[in-house]
A and B are shown apart, each in its own frame.
Chain A
Amino acid sequence: GLEETICSARLRQNIDDPSRADFFNPRAGRLTILNSLTLPILSFLQLSAERGVLYRNAIMAPQYTLNAHSIIYATRGEAHMQIVDHRGQSVFNERIQEGQMVVVPQNFVVVKQAGRDGFEWVALKTNERAIFSTLAGHTSALRAIPVDVLANAYQISRDEAMKLKRRRDESIMFEASARPRRETRA
């Protein structure tokens, strides 16, 4: 029965096709996830992948992958990327550009902002169903916390805590604000 099962297993899936995007914000970009639900052979490999496109100056919400390392390869454009470890120390705060690769260890927080020409990447993740958690935006961990907890944790007013939760209504890809942002560092 091998020829009916393993030999005929689907091994290929295109993730560059915009119509297959799982997340899409017309002002910020798109993200396509490939995991063992969409390509079952990945459960055998215990790997998954994502394809991301950020438009000019758009921001990918600060996030961490809670069950996998992420190996990010820049396929086009450039972005300012910041990666933070468990001690709150910046372990990467640089520009990443086409042809470069960076490893984001499990649970390290990463935030990226595209440059003037946008940013595109592909990432391999070391879990068949990699899960990420965002720290800002509509589905973020901070939004799941009561206002009073945020106000006490950050020593801010309830008003400010409410703004913190509500100002960003996008989920994972944010449109850049109109105000000019400083250039990404080299």
Chain B
Amino acid sequence: QQQGGCQIERLNAREPQRRIEAEAGYTEFWDSDDDQFQCAGVAACRNVINPQGLLLPSYTSAPALLYVLQGKGFQGIMIPGCPETFQSSQQSKEGQSRRFHDQHQKIRNLREGDVIALPAGIAHWCYNNGEQDLVLLIIEDTSNDHNQLDNNPRKFFLAGNPQQQQQQQQQKKQQNQGNVLAGMDVDTLAEVFRVDMETASRLQGQDDRRGHIVRAESDLQVIRPQRTREEQEREERGYEGRDN
């Protein structure tokens, strides 16, 4: 905190100040320059993800807490060095045409009331597989010791072209912005991923106009354990319906 940053004479309840639209949802930001947010050293935003909307993978320079205000979905959190423990079965793909044998890190279900801890620098993505909007409140602790940059909230996207969002956060500076791969040479990307130049160019997302929340072409297929009907019913009954 800057010297005298908490000399507040009056506190006011605040609404979000800016809204950034995307193909399958929008994000609203509270003004992180507001005195009370400056004093607390936090930044806040609210993501509204439409059904079949995918919040593109990103990470922040400060730790954050995410609260699910509404809806349901699932989330992938990529923790460096952790194994890909969700694996499609080799057996199940035999005999089926064009099934991909995929494996990835754990997928976590999201539902109303959940709090998710997001450590600084850990990338994550979210998908809305429900029938109503998935609404996420995110509070980023920019003054946390884990953030060694300044107190400005920074989001590093791994995909897409979140140009508009970043421009508005940065007082509409006219700069070319995009995901972190956009700042590398295309031939470097082709070499690093051993893909052709066209795919490497796609990674940069410079022609992508969908924003930071995109609509999945079809319902997203990921490997994750499904609840049985009994489990779902038990969950709906809640704690009161449990036997001792």
Interface residue? A141 (CB, 8 A): yes
Interface size range on A against B: 35 or more
A144-B82, A146-B222, A147-B102 given; A86·B188 CB < 8 A: no
Q: How far is the CB of B200 from chain A (nearest CB, A)?
A: 10
> How does the 8 Å CB contact mask read for B81-124 relative to A, with 1 for contact and 0 for none?
11010000000000000001010110100000000000111110
Interface residue? A51 (CB, 8 A): no
B183 contacts across to A, CB distance below 8 A:
82-85, 88-91, 109
Q: Is B155 touching A86 in the complex (CB atoms < 8 A)?
A: yes
Number of interface residues of B (CB under 8 A): 68
Q: Is B156 touching A109 in the complex (CB atoms < 8 A)?
A: yes
Interface residue? B59 (CB, 8 A): yes
Question: Which of B3-11, B13-21, B202-210, B229-237 participates in binding chain A?
Answer: B202-210
Q: How far is the CB of A128 from chain B (nearest CB, A)?
A: 12
B121 contacts across to A, CB distance below 8 A:
64-67, 106-107, 131, 133
A141-B123, A168-B193 given; A87·B149 CB < 8 A: no
B84 contacts across to A, CB distance below 8 A:
143-144
How many Å lie between the Cα of A151 and that of B199 in the bound state?
A: 11
How many Å lie between the Cα of A111 and that of B188 in the bound state?
A: 9
Interface residue? A37 (CB, 8 A): no
Q: Is B148 touching A106 in the complex (CB atoms < 8 A)?
A: yes
Q: Is A139 touching B208 in the complex (CB atoms < 8 A)?
A: no
A107-B59, A107-B154, A149-B220 given; A141·B78 CB < 8 A: yes
**Chain B contact residues, CB within 8 Å of chain A:** 54, 56-57, 59, 61, 76, 78-82, 84, 100, 102, 104-105, 107, 119-123, 125, 127, 146-149, 154-160, 166, 170, 175-185, 187-188, 191-195, 199, 202-205, 208, 214, 216-217, 220-223
Can you spell out 15 A-B residue pairs with CB atoms less than 8 angstroms apart?
A67-B148, A105-B149, A106-B61, A106-B147, A109-B184, A113-B191, A133-B122, A144-B79, A144-B104, A145-B104, A145-B125, A148-B216, A149-B220, A152-B220, A153-B54
